[in-house]
Structures are given as C-alpha cells and as structure tokens.
Amino acid sequence: MAAPIAERRHGFGFTAPLLGLMFIAFNLPILYMLALSIWSAEGGLTGAYYAELIDTPIYMRVLGNTLRISVVATLVNVAIGYPLAYWMRGLSPRAQFIAVALVITPFWISILVRTYAWIVVLGNNGMVNRLLLWSGAVDAPVSFLYNELGVMIGMANVLLPFLVLPLFASMLRIDDRLMQAAASLGAPPRTIFLKVFLPLTLPALAAGALLVFILCLGFYVTPAILGGGKVPMISNLLDMMINQYPRWEQASAVSTLLLVVTLAIFAGYRALDRKVGA
Amino acid sequence: MKRRTLIKATAGLPLVAILRPGLAQAQVKEIRMIEAGGKSGESIEVGYGNPFTAKTGIKLVRESPAPFGKLQAMVASGNITAATFELGSGSLVQAVKLGLVEKLDWAAINPMAIFPEAKHEYGFGYQYYSTGMAWRKGAKAPTNWADFFNTKDFPGKRTLPDYPQYAIPFALLAEGVPMDKLFPLDVDRAIKKLLSIRRDISVLWKAGAQPPQLLKDNEVQYAIAWSGRIVEEKELEFTFKEAAADLSYICTVKGAPKAEQEAVAKLYYEMSVPENQAKAAAVIAYTGSSPNLDPLLPKDKLHIYPTAKQNKDVQWVSNAAWWAENGEAVNKKWEEFKFNL
Amino acid sequence: MNGQHAFAGRTVAVLGIAALAFLVLPLLIVVPMSFSSARSLTFPPPGFSLRWYEGFFGDPRWMEALWTSLSLALISSVCAVVLGGLAAYGLRRGTFRGRDAAESNYMAPLIVPTIITAVALYLGFAKTNLLGSFAGLVIAHTMLNVPLVIMVLGVAIRSFDVRIEQVAWSLGASWTYTMRTVLLPNIAPSVFAAWIFAFIGSFDEVIVTSFVAGTYETIPKKMFNELILEVNPTITAVATLLMLFTIVALGFTAWLLRRGGRLKETLL
C-alpha cells in the first residue's frame, strides 16, 4: 500500500537535521580518519602506512589477540547468559520483572564503577583471595587481576546484559504450546529442549553474541584498568598511538582496519537480525 | 601657557608607549598549564603558581595528564588553549624536532641562578626527579638492579613502568652493564632480561601514583617508581643507588598569544626562586634547579631529594638524543615485549 | 515449568541465580565501600564514615566536574531527543529513498567500536578547532546517544496507529497541531524514557570524552583519571550517588512507561 503523497514528502525533512549532525559529528571525522591513513606527509595517496602496519608483526598480533580475547569473552557470555535467560523465562511475571530490573540496572551504572569494584573483589587482598586463603584452598593469592582472566571477567560482567535482554525477549516469544505438543507426542524433555527450543532461540543467540563480540573488539576502559598494561588490545594500542608516541597516521590505519573488520561482522549481524524479526 | 601644556602632553606620549605592553598584559586573566598531575601538579601550584598569582593577579589553571599527543593536537589545531606544557627530557627533544614549542626568551625571564641544564633553549627545567627501586618495608631489601631482577632470592611480584625509557636501561644495569656505558642501549638484551622475570611482573603502570598504591595494597612487593611518590610513605622504602636522575621541563606551546607568553615569563621567574622551590619540595620530594636550594631544605630529610649530594653521585642520566633517534623502533619492540608477557 | 525435568529445573535455577549474583556483585561492593572509614580499598570496610561524600561535595574540582557533566548531559540529551525524535518519525512514517541507509547511519555510533569513534573525533576535531570545546562535546554526546533515542521512539511511534494521525489530518488539523495534541501525549512516556536514556548515556560517557574534552572535566573522565592516578574511595561515593540517581530515574521511567502500557516493548 503506497503511502499518501503528504507522508512521502515529509519523510526526508524530519530526518534531515539529524543527518546534518551525523555528518559533522560522525561521517566526516571517520572519513577524515580514513583519509589520514592513506595521505602521505608530502601530499598524495600512499599505502605506506598500511604497508608499515603489515610489516610490523606486533600490530597484527595485537589485532589477532583482540579477536581471540573477544571470542572467548563472547563464549563466556553465552555460557552464563543463556542459562540465565532460560531461567528467567520460567519465572512468574513479577519475578521476571525483578530479574529484568536486576539485569538492566548494572547496564546503566557507570562502567568505571563496575570495573573498579572488580579490583576490590579480585585483587591479591581482595574478597575472593581472602576467602580462598582463609578456607585453605590455596596457600598463596591467586592472580585474578592484571591478566587476561581479570579482563575476561570484567568484560563478561559488563556485556552480559547486551546478550541476555534480546535473548530473553526472543525466548518469551516462543510459544509454550510448541513444547507441550512435542511432549504430547512422547518426546523426552532433553529432546524437546535440543530439537524444539534451542533451534528457535539460535538466531537471537547468534545475533546477541555477534553484538557482544563487536563490543568486545572496541573495548577500552575495562582492559585498560583490569589488564594492568599486560593485556594488549587494539584499543589500548590506539591510545598509545594517539597519545604517547604519537603516530596519528598509524593510528588511522589501525582504526580503519578495525572498522573494516567490524563492519563485515556487523553485516552478518544484520542478516541474522532480519531472520529473527521475520 | 598653551605651549607648555602641549610640551607636557607630548612628553607623556613615550610614557604611554612604554605602558602599552603592560596594558595588553592586564588583559591576560589566566594562564593554563598542562602538567603531569597528582602531587607533582600540586607542588607547581603551591610553589610557583601562588606567588605568581600574588604578584601578577593572573590565575594559574592546571590540567592533567600531559600525554605528548595532546601537545601535538593543540598545535595542529591552531587553537592554543594552554600556553604551557610539561614535558620530560626525551619528549622535549621530540617536541623541538616537530616544532611544537617556542624558544624561551631567557633575557625576559631573567631568572635567578639555576643549573645550566635547566636553562634549556626551549624549556625551563623545573623539577629534578628520580626513578628507582622501591619496596615494602619488611621485604628483603635489594641493593642493586641485579637483585631487583633476581626473583629467586628476592621473591615477590614486581611492577614496572609502561615506559621503555625507564625499564630498558634498568634491565641492562641488572645485566651488569656499567652506568657510564649504558648508551647506545642494547635493547634486545634488555628485553630478554625483562622477559626472564615475566612470571613475576604483575602490572605495567602508567601513572606515578600506581606503584605506591600497589605496594601498599601488597599487590606487588617490589616496584620501579618515581622517588617523590615513595620517599614520604612510611611503609615503603626507596633507594637512589643506580636510579635514573631526570629533569622535567615546562615549555611554552608554539603559537601561544604574545601577551600570555609575557605573563608566562614571570611564571618562569618564580620557578627559579629557591624559596619557592623549597615550598614545592615540601609538597612532593623533588627539587628545583637552584644551586642555592640545599640550605633551604629540611636537614634531616636531605636524603630523600634527588639532587642531594649523596644521591646525585650514584645515579645516571638518560641520553635524550639517543631516544629521539631510536624511540620509535624501541616502542615497537616494547609492544612486542608486552605481548609476550 | 511444562515439559521440564525437575532436576534440570533446579540446575537452571542455580545457574540463573549465580549469573544474577555475578552481574550484581560489583554494585553490592561499591555501596558499602563508599561509607568506609578506611583510606584504601578494603572490603569489608572497617568503620562507618561519610568522609568520602564530604570530600566529594567539598572539593571544588569535583563540583566543577559535576556542573560540566550536568549541563553537558542536559543539553545533549535534549538535542538528542529532538533531533532523534524527528528522525524517528521520518523513518517510521516516511517512505523516502535511502531510508534504510539513513537509519544505518544513525545507528552506526552504536556499532562502531567506541575507541574508533573517539580517535576519529579527536583527529577531526583537532583539524576543525573543536577539540577541547564545549560545543564539540555537545555534538559528540548528542551523536552518541541518538541511536538509543531512535530505537525507543521508533518503537513508540510504530505502535501508535498512523491512522489516528491520518484521521486528524483528514479533519483539517495541521501537522504541528496533530503532533502536539495527538501524537506527543500518547508517546510522552517513551519520550521521557528516551530523554532519560540519553541523559544517563551522556553523563556516563567516558572514552570519547577523555579524548576530546580538553580541559573540561566530566564526572566519568575525572573518575577514570582518579582510578589511574590515585585510587581513593571518593570515587565509590561518586559511584553510589550515580547509582542512586540512575535507579530513581529508571524507576520513575518504568512507572511512567507502565502507565502508558509501553514498559515491555520499550525494554525488550
């Protein structure tokens, strides 16, 4: 059904002011950054910075490291988040509301706060270690902090809501009667879960996982604080390149590379997202 | 009568011309400084900012931290929001190379007597500081860098600075390289030494306040730290033996308005006054560049200052020129080192 | 639950509760710590004291950061709601060419890793003299929060039957009149929710702000610097106050949305 002329004329005008803002605040700076990465100091296009990027194995390795950590953190999120969403689905509406509130609230609390709290919990003198030492499970404090483990824990904690909420929403939409039907046909509970429930949630799960993965890639605050300088991720490298060295053209090249990777992954996310909405 | 008034009036003109620069200066309300922050920044305010404001009525507004990229961004944008910037000796060389700082007009500053190295063409060396070994009272005291890197006889976790210009030379000293033969640095040898204790490197710190915090929390037992952050802490120990003595500079940013530059000259003057330096030293245990400072420092605490005679003799000074040449290559190796931790 | 084995049910419950506890743990730590009398990060706190709150309110630098944060959040959230609201309307009701492209463009800040946005803005603002300016901060914050506004208002506008608007037009009402008296009152709770999200989003933003704020200090930027420069329980006091404000604001929003029947859709 075609929209009436009045609407068609109006549509663009409403979005125009925002488009203007996006141009100044986002599109142009990103394009400028892209341009910096291919514009040499003397003037003229150059691939030198990208060549240097590939020639410096450490930069590619940091990118690879970031990808690896992001994958693991995403899997951890899935391992914790899926059971959580599943359990929430089975709660009474009032309990569901409380659970959703508990999942959402940390999402809005400053990420610095949540990261800081993990220093208190995981440090050598922190709660967990004191508990372990007191119970005799270990005789020296375990290093939870200032390494990859600490960063993973921090990231999982911060990004969990991004996975749980859409997953929970999609689980809610699954009709109970489908499973009742399967049960009435004689299927055992495990089969019902594996063959009926799980496949229906897979699109939302995959989409949520991809979102978490993308967020992990660009993460700055948590790895910077919980990593103790020993967990080199792309964001920290970019910070060094911008603030400390500084090598802005290099930073542009690295940024652009990361952007390309992210957009490719996001294209995959959108495809899956459309499948969920369908 | 008329002629006399005319002569008086014209006689007044040169006076006005002399006064005019002063008039322009009266418009400067505040001078901004981008500096390292923390106690060091406070020492600048207490020691130099306050007397400066008392004399000129101009406020000193501080901003921190002072990463090199910030200076570059400011100059590149042409919008000089802060007239002064704090730079380490290595960064200063880099800044001069990139044309980011103004030449100082030492005639206009007319400082009191200061050490020659503090009278840099492009910066005022305002603060001597040392980087060296620190540890918790009660841990086995290391006597030299070989001890620091010896995790068998000196067990415990370490924290090192995320700055190769400090970590690399110390590793070489631990390998037995004598202080006067450090440069040119054998970077690969140093990295190997650093990696040999990788299991005990707990944190690579970026901010001066981190090592004392980590030591106090018992998160680490040994640290490389800036002296001023350690020496006044009751539970921590520091040694100046084989430490790195260095000088921090305040520079004028390229393109700062002329009126502000003139005001800043007065601020630089304040930094040369030994009484002011003593006040700054009371906030954080670093010394200014006046040769007449020692008598003004508390006698019983002389040993905590980097330039006290007993300390100056056992330290070494970095080679800023070498770092300007090789910094970038070393940075890449440093990133690899962190990756292999 | 139907079709679920009791044992599996209990395991899931344990996992679920453990996951919730994991999520909420940091918050439970930070609040008591802000009342601690000890100077370092010890938990449980040895004694009760309000010194960190006093320190926060008594420190002119924290108060300046608070003022900057509040004014920045207020201005940028209003801009985000106005611009984003208009755009959401155009996206939902309009059918112009390139609508999908425009929508992707608006959502982009959410997808592009924030560090890249921060770097790009740093370089771009440095070139255009916006670095370290309040205007630059407002522009950046508005841009960063617009995606959320569009999502929330998009849902609200979509669920508001367009035919009601069309009836109003066909009865001769002008567009502005229709907006004011027909659409807005119905989506008001969502507008408020969008505004609160934008406000909190701006108040909390740390990475981009750290890069482009120059001498302006916002609460999160100062907290981040303090975390690195000098760990000190004052930031737990700040954090607790932030939490309190967020919970109250979100609670109020939820109540508003529930009254408008929009709670579940908006959240999920």
Most confident of A172-176, A181-185, B18-22, B187-191: B187-191
**Structural domains in chain C (count):** 1
Alpha carbon distance C133, C141 (integer Å) = 13
Mean pLDDT of C63-77: 93
Q: Kindly state the helix (H) or strand (E) to which residue A10 belongs, with its residue range.
A: helix A5-22
Does residue B1 lie in a domain region?
no
What confidence category does residue B175 fall into, taking pLDDT thresholds of 50, 70 and 90? very high
Q: Which residue has the higher pLDDT, B270 or C254?
A: B270
* Residue C168 confidence (pLDDT): 84
Number of Cβ atoms within 10 Å of the Cβ of C202: 28
Distance CA(B156)–CA(B220), nearest Å, equals: 7
In-domain check, residue B79: yes
The more confidently predicted of residues A246 and A108 is A246
Q: Return the pLDDT at B273.
A: 92
In this structure, are B225 and B331 located in the same domain? yes
A238 lies in some domain:
yes
**pLDDT the model gives residue A189:** 82
Say if residue B72 is in the same domain as residue B217: no
What pLDDT sits at residue B154?
Answer: 92
Residue A139 lies in a domain: yes
Whole-number pLDDT of residue C43 = 65
CATH label of the domain that carries residue A123: 1.10.3720.10
User: What is the spatial distance between Cα C116 and Cα A214, in angstroms, rounded to a whole number?
Assistant: 12
> Which pair of structure tokens corresponds to residue B271?
């930094």
Q: Cβ C115–A121 below 8 Å, yes or no?
A: no
Q: A230–B338: do the CB atoms touch at under 8 Å?
A: yes
Residue A152 has pLDDT above 80, yes or no: yes
Whether B213 maps to a domain, the answer reads: yes
C52 within some domain: no
Cα separation, B248 vs B123, in Å, equals 9
- Among A41-50, A149-158, B137-146, C258-267, name the one with the lowest average pLDDT: C258-267
Report how far residue A227's alpha carbon sits from residue A143's, in angstroms, rounded to the nearest whole number.
Answer: 11
Q: Which domain holds residue B42?
A: 16-128+248-301
What distance in Å separates the CA atoms of residue A99 and residue C199, rounded to the nearest whole number?
A: 24
Do B241 and B252 have their domain in common?
Answer: no
Residue B251 DSSP one-character state:
E
Do B120 and B187 lie in one domain? The reply is no
Chain C residues whose beta carbon lies within 8 Å of the beta carbon of residue A156? 22
In a domain, residue C258? The reply is yes
How many C-beta neighbours within 10 Å does residue C11 have?
13
Report if residue B307 sits inside a domain: no
pLDDT in tens, C183-232: 888 788 788 888 888 988 898 888 899 888 877 888 888 888 776 655 67
Query: What's the confidence (pLDDT) of residue C3?
Result: 44
B219 and B328 inside one domain: yes
Calpha distance C179→C224 (Å, rounded): 42
| Interface test mutation site (partner B, options A133, A230, A235, max chain B beta carbons within 10 A) | A230
Q: What is the pLDDT of residues C78-137, one digit of tens each?
A: 999 999 988 888 888 777 777 778 888 888 888 788 888 888 898 888 878 787 789 999
Same domain for B265 and B216?
A: no
Between CA B258 and CA A147 the distance in angstroms is 49
Instruction: Judge if B182 and B103 occupy the same domain.
Output: no
Mean pLDDT of C32-54: 77
Query: Taking CB atoms and an 8 Å cutoff, what residues of chain A touch B203?
Result: 146, 228-230
H or E stretch at A29: helix A28-38
Mean pLDDT value across residues A115-132: 82
Are B319 and B311 in contact by the 8 Å Cβ rule? The answer is no
Going by pLDDT thresholds of 50, 70 and 90, the confidence category of residue B250 is very high
Q: Which residues of chain B are within 8 Å of residue C131 when distances are taken between CB atoms? A: 73-74, 77, 79
* Best residue in A58, A59, A220, A252 for a mutation probing chain B (most B CBs within 10 Å): A58
Domain that holds residue C193: 59-267
Statement to judge: residues B278 and B148 lie in one domain:
no
What was the pLDDT predicted at B160?
94
User: Closest to C126 (Cβ–Cβ): which among B61, B77, B206?
Assistant: B77
In this predicted structure, the answer to whether residue C17 has a pLDDT above a threshold of 60 is yes
What's the pLDDT band for A176 if we cut at 50, 70, 90?
Answer: confident
Locate C260 and state its tokens: 């408008």
SS3 B338: helix
For residue A196, being part of any structural domain is answered with yes
State the average pLDDT for chain C: 82
Q: Measuring CA to CA, which residue among C39, C60, C61, C35 is closest to residue C49?
A: C35
Residue indicated by tokens 């005990």 = B200
Domain with B332 in it: what CATH number? 3.40.190.10
Contact between C156 and C185 under an 8 Å Cβ cutoff? The reply is: no
The amino acid at C207: I
DSSP A197: I
Of the pLDDT bands very low, low, confident and very high (cuts 50, 70, 90), residue B148 is very high
Q: Within this chain, do residues B167 and B109 fall inside the same structural domain, yes or no? A: no
Q: How many domains does chain A have?
A: 1
Residues B200 and B112 both lie in one domain: no
Q: For residue B144, tell me if it sits in a domain.
A: yes
Q: Which helix (H) or strand (E) covers residue A259, if one does?
A: helix A248-277
| pTM exceeds 0.90, yes or no | no
Residues in contact with B47: Cβ distance below 8 Å, sequence separation at least 6, in sequence order: B270, B271, B276, B277, B278, B279, B280, B281, B283, B288
Q: Is residue C40 part of a domain?
A: no
Q: Is residue C44 part of a domain?
A: no
Lowest-confidence pick of B59-68, B231-240, C258-267: C258-267
- Domain membership of residue A34 (yes or no) is no
Does residue B320 share a domain with residue B289?
Answer: no
- How close, in Å, is residue A49 to chain C by CA atoms? 16
Nearest chain B residue to C121, by CA:
B73
Are the CB atoms for C230 and B213 separated by under 8 Å? yes
Question: What pLDDT was estimated at residue C39?
Answer: 67
Average pLDDT (B85-106) is 91
Please name the chains neighbouring B, where neighbouring means 3+ C-beta pairs under 8 angstroms: A, C
CA–CA dist C143, A242 (Å, integer): 22
State the total domains in chain B. Answer: 2
CATH label of the domain that carries residue C84: 1.10.3720.10
Say if residue B22's pLDDT is above 70.
Answer: no
Question: For B341, which residue in chain A has the nearest alpha carbon?
Answer: A230
Task: Identify the domain containing residue A95 by its residue range.
Answer: 67-277
Torsion, Cα of B266, B269, B275, B277 (10° steps): 100
Return the CA Rg of chain A: 23
Beta bridge partners of A177: none
B274 pLDDT band, cuts 50/70/90, is very high
Q: Is A238's pLDDT higher than 90?
A: no
User: In this structure, is residue A219 part of a structural domain?
Assistant: yes
C100-C105-C110 Cα angle (round to 5): 120
- The set of residues, in sequence order, having a beta carbon less than 8 Å from that of C208 and lying 6+ positions away, is C114, C117, C118, C121, C140, C141, C144
Q: What is the pLDDT of residue B1?
A: 45
Does some domain include residue A162?
yes
Residues B252 and B111 in one domain: yes
C216 three-state secondary structure: coil
Our measurement of the distance from residue B219's CA atom to the centroid of its chain's CA atoms, rounded to an integer in Å, reads: 27
CB under 8 Å to A89, separation ≥6 — which residues? A168, A171, A172
Sign of CA dihedral A57, A58, A59, A65: positive
Q: What percent of chain C has pLDDT over 90?
A: 13
Residue B260 lies in a domain: yes
User: Which pLDDT score is estimated for A51?
Assistant: 86
What average pLDDT does the segment B243-270 reach? 92
Q: Does B79 touch chain C (CB under 8 A)?
A: yes
